[in-house]
Structure 1
Amino acid sequence: MDQKILRNYEIAKEQYAEFGIDVDQALEQLAKIKISMHCWQGDDVKGFLFKDQDLSGGIAATGNYPGAARTPEELRADLDKAFSLIPGKHKVNLHAIYADTDEKVDLDKLETKHFQKWIDWAKANGLGLDFNPTCFSHEKSSDGLTLSHPNEEIRRFWIDHVKASRHISASFGEQLGQTSVMNVWVPDGYKDIPADRLGPRKRLKESLDEAFAEELNKSYHLDAVESKLFGLGAEAYTVGSHEFYMGYGLQNNKLICLDAGHFHPTEVISNKLSALSLFVEGILLHVSRPVRWDSDHVVILDDELLDIGKELVRGDLLGKTHIGLDFFDASINRVAAWVIGTRNTIKALLRAMLEPIEALRQAELAGDYTTRLALTEEFKTYPFGAVWDYYCAKSGVPVREEWLAEVKNYEQEVLLKR
């Protein structure tokens, strides 16, 4: 290891130790945290099951940067490159449309065999897998309705798809020895004001009840449900609102997914974590960056990401929270987007672990809000960067911006030749 990195780390350790912060212990804890990196950043949410199907469901990927993955093999190669530049061992989050098969199969008939190559790849690389039913970009979702559809035949198709997805997810967990989290999000809603708000929600609840009826081993598989405020084509009414899914998740012991972009512009999910944690078995986070709306920008180390990290660490919530990423940007190098977003998420957690949490709590309990504010501000300039550099070097990945040269070389040697 570079002696300058090591020297800076030792100096930083001494500074943090003055407040009782064990930096080595923090890094040990950090190394155990798995970020679920989303596959759809690599190909702009197109997938491989229906190659001629247009993206729909209120989802849009903007930009035409060269090098998008066109096959499962290319996508796995891009993921390999990204993981080689990110410290730690993590997970990959797959959508159903990313099946790796030559068989012509529809969503309701998918089986584990259609994802076996993904499982074998993950096992060979020490990775976990998470899963999502794909309730969009399909002819049976063309009117923006799936599990709440008034047509029973269409509704049955989507129920069967969720059922099939749960079995695939459970197979991921069983074969890889890492619990697979399967998240259900549907785009259902109306562009203009509905005459009946209750009816679609009743149908959605009944569909979910049937889809989730079979008990699966929670060591292998966990169900999560995800709300949304609105979407393109569903501006006036979203069936699966936050209130709907909070009630459903609490009543049925499902993970409740909080997506950073799925709330009002003045809302933040960091402020919801502690409240929700008191009532749920677990939480799924979709870490994204909304710019004025659910735009899924690449995650940066902004105030909200730092606050999410603080809440998870200060509230000791890491054990019950599953952290996944959900952004896609086709205007920049897609591998770089993965690396930037994932490294930033890990940085936010590390920085939270290097706070004088006990001193802050004691000051607050004593009503000494001056000390609370002073320490919070002073620690913003403590040598967190030196600890991060050491963690990267120790993990065998590039330090600071050194990773960018590798991505640029990969672009020249691989991406631009596609």
Structure 2
Amino acid sequence: MTTSLETAWELAKQRFAAVGVDVEAALQQLDRLPVSMHCWQGDDVAGFENPEGALSGGIQATGNYPGKARNAAELRSDLERALSLIPGPKRLNLHAIYLESEQPVARDKIKPEHFKNWVEWAKTNKLGLDFNPSCFSHPLSADGFTLSHANDEIRQFWIDHVKASRKVSAYFGEQLGTPSVMNIWIPDGMKDITVDRLAPRQRLVAALDEAMSEKLNPQHHIDAVESKLFGIGAESYTVGSNEFYFGYATSRQTALCLDAGHFHPTEVISDKISSAMLYVPRLLLHVSRPVRWDSDHVVLLDDETQAIASEIIRHDLFDRVHIGLDFFDASINRIAAWVIGTRNMKKALLRALLEPTETLRQLELEGDYTARLALLEEQKSLPWAAVWEMYCQRNDTPVDAQWLKTVRTYEKDVLSQRA
């Protein structure tokens, strides 16, 4: 007996075929686009290095929803629940503060062995891993400077932390057979009027060069650098600005990370992708939702998320753009936040794959902007949701909000038992 989903799927294939879109090809391409989920949504960016979990350096998770993960085992359990509700390929993005060790480990002394449980877990769950040095929430970052610090010994500590992190990242790639993208973000800056803006940036260039001086196998490890407009306590001056890191990534040919919340409120990263791709070998995207600024809200299926996905698909950037998420909301169920945000990113990618791009590009080339606008608007009403539901069914995940029942059950049985 034909189900309503199968009927909707057949009709959707016909509708998209009428505008020149092969739906099966779109789904095959979607299976080439993993989204890297961020571990820090599950515990409010506390990590397991410091039992107090105090945040600093322009990072703040707000809310007090019960049931956050208190250790790596709980975090992995929560991640497994979220991953089971999201169709298609995924990755996991780890910060250095999520290491596991029976004894305290200084950040400049972290080693691959401190992440072996994560690697074995990733193998079991068929995931790639990405990585980040954690240059915040530490006594040596308390004055607002790390890799650009004027104190040689403090700066060297953070250089050594990045060096150690690169080895962890390369270990991930070697063990899992897929390159780990390691992103460097630092909170360095000043709260008020800054007299010398040049010297910290000179120190940062030299520090980054030293930290990344060892050549690592690109099949295992990819370096990325991330800019920011400002941070808490660094409202007037951010050392690692967009101009700084765009120049650094271009001159050193590293990957450039564009975070959706790290620019002026009226700026969007979707407009920056095509320009950056002319000069850097790879992009890392941190898809987030700024509300007035970098408040890291759960990703919606909104215009900017769709525009980011469309830029990737329209320009065939599948192998040069790495898609990651970066939000942390402690006011709602943390597993639901992962599921909502990641499913929305994948929906945006699917919608972009279902766009009749070649037809639209030809109309634009011919100067028929009337038809271009008409088709852009009409294709929004095509039955993409039926394609998404079939994709979910094929991946044995809920096709609609039924996933919330699973999350609620897990909340009752597991999360509510946590103090």
Matches within 5 A, 1:109-128: 109-128=109-128
Alignment map for 1:11-410 (pairs within 5 Å) = 11-410=11-410
SS in 2 for 1:295: strand
Structure 2, unpaired ranges of 5+: none
Equivalents in 2 of 1:278, 1:13: separation in Å? Answer: 35
Identify if the C-alpha distance between structure 1 residues 205 and 2 changes in structure 2 by more than 3 Å, giving closer, same or farther: farther
Q: CA deviation at 1:185?
A: 0.2
| Matched residue SS, 1:268 | coil
C-alpha distance in 2, partners of 1:49/1:301? 34
Q: Give 3-state SS (helix, strand or coil) of 1:290's partner.
A: strand
Q: Give the drift of 1:89.
A: 2.4
Tell whether the 8 Å contact from 1:19 to 1:356 is kept in structure 2 after alignment.
yes
1:200 and 1:276 map into 2 onto residues whose CA distance is 24
Give yes or no for the alignment of 1:416 onto 2:416.
Answer: yes
What's the offset of the Cα at 1:345? 0.2
1:387-407 CA-to-partner distances (Å, cap 9, x unmatched) read 000000011001110101100
Residue identity in the other structure for 1:50: N
**Secondary structure at 2:256's aligned position in 1?**
strand
Tell me the amino acid that sits aligned with residue 218 of structure 2.
K
The question of whether the paired residues in 2 share the 8 Å contact of 1:188 and 1:234 is answered with yes
Q: Deviations over 1:159-190 (max 9, x none)?
A: 00000000000000000001100000000000
Check whether the contact 1:53–1:138 (CA below 8 A) recurs between aligned residues: no
> SS at 2:216's partner residue?
coil
Give the distance between the partners of 1:159 and 1:279, measured in 2 at CA.
Answer: 26
Query: Deviation at 1:103?
Result: 2.1
Tell me how far apart the structure 2 counterparts of residues 215 and 280 of structure 1 sit (CA, whole Å): 18
Q: Deviations over 1:38-95 (max 9, x none)?
A: 0000000000011224100011100000010001000000000000000012110000
Question: Residues 53 and 346 (structure 1 numbering): CA distance in 2 closer, same or farther, change over 3 Å?
Answer: closer
Structure-1 separation of matches of 2:91 and 2:302: 23
Counterpart contact for 2:261–2:293, Cα < 8 Å: yes
Q: In 2, distance between residues paired with 1:62 and 1:8?
A: 41
User: What are the Cα deviations for residues 350-396 of structure 1, in whole angstroms up to 9, with x where unaligned?
Assistant: 00011111111111111110000000000111101000000000110
- 1: CA distance between counterparts of 2:17 and 2:57? 50
TM-score, normalization by structure 1: 0.99
5+ long unaligned stretches in structure 1:
none
Cα separation, 2, equivalents of 1:62 and 1:125: 30
Q: 1-side partners of 2:89 and 2:301: how far apart? A: 21
Task: Tell me, in whole angstroms, the C-alpha distance in 2 between the residues paired with 1:126 and 1:363.
Answer: 42
Whether the 8 Å CA contact 1:9–1:387 is kept in 2: the answer is yes
Secondary structure of 2:210's match? helix
Matched AA of 1:94: L
- SS of 2:65 mapped into structure 1: coil
The aligned counterpart of 2:6 is: 6
- Let me know the Cα RMSD of the aligned residues: 0.9
Post-superposition offset of 1:2: 7.5
Q: Distance in 2 between the 1:174 and 1:90 partners? A: 18
Q: Answer with 52-61 or 192-201: which moved more.
A: 52-61
Query: In structure 1, how many angstroms separate the alpha carbons of the residues matched to 2:355 and 2:332?
Result: 33
CA distance in structure 2 between the partners assigned to 1:53 and 1:36 by the alignment: 24
CA distance in 1, matches of 2:304, 2:282: 21
> Aligned with 2:296: secondary structure?
coil
SS in 2 for 1:117: helix
8 Å CA contact retained: 2:132, 2:165: yes
Contact 2:172 2:220 in 1 (8 A): yes
Give the AA of the match of 2:50: F
SS at match of 2:346: helix
Q: Structure 1: how far apart are the matches of 2:51 and 2:6?
A: 49
Partner SS state of residue 294, structure 1? strand
- The alpha-carbon deviation at position 21 of structure 1 amounts to 0.5
Mapped contact 2:42–2:75 kept (Cα < 8 A)? yes
Tell me the CA shift for residue 317 of structure 1: 1.3
- The DSSP-based 3-state class of the residue aligned with 1:400 is coil
1:259-318 CA distance string (max 9 Å, x none)? 000000110000011111111110000000000010000000000001111111111112
Q: Tell me if the contact between 1:129 and 1:180 (Cα under 8 Å) persists in the aligned partners.
A: yes
How far the C-alpha of 1:195 sits from its partner, in A, is: 1.1
Change in CA separation of 1:398 and 1:206 when aligned onto 2, cut-off 3 Å: same
